[in-house]
Amino acid sequence: MRLAFMGSPDFAVPALRALVAAGHEVAAVYAQPPRPAGRGQRETPCPVHRAALELGLPVRNPARLRRDTAEHEAFRALDLDAAVVAAYGLILPKPILEAPRRGCLNIHASLLPRWRGAAPIHAAVLAGDAETGITIMQMDEGLDTGAMLLREATPIGPRDTTAVLHDRLAEIGARLVLRALAENPVPVPQPAEGMTYAPKLAKADSRLDWREDAAALDRRVRAMTPWPGTQFEAGGDAIRVLAAEPAGTADAAPGTVLDTLPRIACGGGTALRLLRLQRPGRAPMEADAFLRGYALTPGTVLPLPPDA
């Protein structure tokens, strides 16, 4: 089948590789333009761009598509059977959506209609969902509103992070999109009930508010791992929390350091144990090693977020 592939981050790379390995003809790969990265701020191609070059595939990097008629014509001239889209990062206008004979198939990292939007994996972990999954969707002009072609669920384990689910879902998506292309399933409209939205993450999402209960804070730490991370303020430093777990009860004000494990008092009389921490400019450390060089004295009350 003659395809275009449209994606940018690591999540999309397994699908691109699977399409090539399955013998599909990838006529063009569309990816976000290279951007400055690293200390030297050198122009760096995104993961899909790099993978496409390794596979010997032509890459296109339009900065926008919505009103670029020249890009619309170039896309139409590819004479595609279908386009496969995975976290591309640009909105596809109607001329792009309608150009391939079988339209554009999107690999979406949730069980639609739950968690439409930009951060579905984070949202599922943060909400405490029991499962998430992949939906292969026939794209339309709405935001993740197209008809569903295939869905596959996977459980969210009690210690799963966004990073763990990201990699698992990327592999499921690669396998499922091959099935969708081979089987051409009948599109099923998304049900009206059960729709939720996962907005783009903001800086405030990384802040730990000790007034939440420990279970909610544990979910936040796991949901924001590896990005954007979670943090709290102590001694004027923003301390990153890389791992934590609920740890019993607490009879103290939220934010109180209870002991040297260390456990922090949280809302609802609960406590959160901090397992892995990082100071600005320092390497990540297990909590016991961290505390040998940074005191979190029992009885100290940590501040709440500024906008809490």
* Same-domain status, 85 and 156: yes
Binding-site residues, in ranges, read 110-113
- Examine the domain organization and report whether 191 and 215 are in the same domain: no
Q: Mapping DSSP to helix (H, G, I), strand (E, B) and coil, where does residue 250 land?
A: coil
According to DSSP, the residues that pair with 269 across neighbouring strands are: none
My answer on whether 61 and 156 are in the same domain is yes
Same domain, 36 and 124: yes
Whether residue 307 lies inside any domain: the answer is no
Q: For 141-179, how does the pLDDT look when each residue is reduced to its tens digit (9 = 90+)?
A: 999 999 999 999 999 999 999 999 999 999 999 999 999
In a domain, 308, yes or no: no
Assess if residue 306 is contained within a domain. no
Q: Residue 105 domain-assigned?
A: yes
Which of residues 195, 227, 251 is at a domain's end? 195
Q: Which CATH number goes with the domain that contains 236?
A: 3.10.25.10
Which of 241, 180, 199 is closest to 22 using CA atoms?
180
Do 231 and 115 belong to one domain?
A: no
Tens digit of each residue's pLDDT (9 = 90 or more) over 20-75: 999 999 999 999 999 988 777 889 999 999 999 999 999 999 999 998 999 999 99
Same domain, yes or no, for 191 and 237?
no
In a domain, residue 237? The reply is yes
Of 73, 63, 138, nearest to 99 by C-alpha is 73
Partners of 273 in the β-ladder: 245, 263
Looking at the fold, whether 214 and 286 belong to one and the same domain comes out as yes
**Residues 271 and 220 grouped into a single domain:** yes
- pLDDT, tens only, 134-144: 999 999 999 99
Query: Do residue 105 and residue 253 come from a single domain?
Result: no
Residue partners of 211: CB distance under 8 A and separation at least 6: 254, 266, 267, 304, 308
Query: Is 307 a residue whose pLDDT tops 70?
Result: no
- Judge whether 212 lies within some domain: yes
The pLDDT of residue 308 is above 60: no
pTM for the whole structure: 0.95
Among 205, 131, 215, 116, CA closest to 168: 131
* Residue 305 counted as domain residue: no
Last residue of a domain, one of 171, 195, 219: 195
Rounded to the nearest 5 percent, the helix, strand and coil shares of the chain are: 25, 30, 45
Give the rounded distance of the alpha carbon of 244 from its chain centre: 20
Question: Does some domain include residue 274?
Answer: yes
242 and 187 in a single domain? The answer is no
Mean pLDDT, rounded, of the chain: 96
How many domains, the chain? 2
Last residue of a domain, one of 195, 213, 240: 195
Q: How much is the average pLDDT of 114-120?
A: 97
185 and 213 belong to one structural domain: no
- Give the rounded percent of residues in the chain with a pLDDT score beyond 70: 99
Instruction: Give binding residues for (6S)-5,6,7,8-tetrahydrofolate as ranges.
Output: 110-113
- Please give the residue range of the domain that contains residue 216: 202-299
Say whether both 166 and 29 belong to one domain. yes
Q: For residue 167, give the CATH number of its domain.
A: 3.40.50.170
